[in-house]
Amino acid sequence: MEDKIILKKDAPVKFETRKLTGWFSENHFYGINKEKDEDNARYCECTHYECDKCGSVYKKNSYCKRCSEAKREEVFYSLEEVKYNGGPFFIYQSDKIFNSEEEYYDYIEYDSIKDFDKLVLAEEGDYLEKGAINDFLENYFSDLNIDDFEGLGPKQETQKMIQSLEDAIRKEIGTVYYPTKLRFKL
């Protein structure tokens, strides 16, 4: 059966005045439900929210900055405090890394850092984990079901090459620092 065709000019519309009961915003009718429809209509017409927790007023498509800041503080102070004994570190919740105290003091001399006393230690790691390429190839070959074919798959010589390729890449791309859950003050 063919779909019925209705052209725009033939569309069965009519102009009428209807009586509706319920919640309206300026241009839209929502419905009669006290919770949902009233809320939607109010949402449509309002520009700002009042924070449930602290009463601050903020833009409706934003979030309460005061509470968010307080949450950051809370999380920071929940980290275990340690004495700084050297090593790389971050400013809390930033990707700014310092390799030494000197580097840090040089930095804050010229830049004002809001959380300058909030520091988190970092742990060294490699961008490329040991055995990453080998693991990748093993998975790759196993997806190909290469084991079913006798004599296929990387030979010992190739394994060695993969190993030295990994070492070379690791050397080139260097070290990554992961923030730990320890904090300290300088």
Site string for Zn ion, 64-103 (x = CB under 5 A): x-xx------------------------------------
Q: How far is the CB of 29 from Zn ion (least distance, A)?
A: 32
Q: Which range in 5-13, 37-45, 46-54, 94-102 contacts Zn ion by CB under 5 A?
A: 46-54
Q: Does 122 bind Zn ion (CB under 5 A)?
A: no
8-state DSSP, 110: H
Q: How far is the CB of 8 from Zn ion (least distance, A)?
A: 49
Given a contact cutoff of 8 angstroms between Cβ atoms, the answer to whether 31 and 41 are in contact is no
Residues 96-129 as b or e (16 or more Cβ within 10 Å = b): eebeeeeebeeeeeeeeeeeeebbbbbeeeeebe
Given a contact cutoff of 8 angstroms between Cβ atoms, the answer to whether 98 and 70 are in contact is no
CA torsion sign, 50 to 55 to 59 to 62?
Answer: negative
Q: Which helix (H) or strand (E) holds 103?
A: helix 101-110
When the beta carbons of 67 and 128 are compared against Zn ion, the nearer one is 67
Of 54, 75, 82, 165, the residue at the interface with Zn ion (CB under 5 A) is 54
When the beta carbons of 54 and 168 are compared against Zn ion, the nearer one is 54
Q: Which range in 10-18, 33-41, 49-57, 168-176 contacts Zn ion by CB under 5 A?
A: 49-57
Of 33, 56, 139, 142, the residue at the interface with Zn ion (CB under 5 A) is 56
Q: How far is the CB of 56 from Zn ion (least distance, A)?
A: 5
Given a contact cutoff of 8 angstroms between Cβ atoms, the answer to whether 97 and 89 are in contact is yes
When the beta carbons of 64 and 120 are compared against Zn ion, the nearer one is 64
Question: What angle is formed at CA 182 by the lines to CA 178 and CA 186, rounded to 5 degrees?
Answer: 105
Catalog residues that contact Zn ion under the rule CB under 5 A.
51, 53-54, 56, 64, 66-67
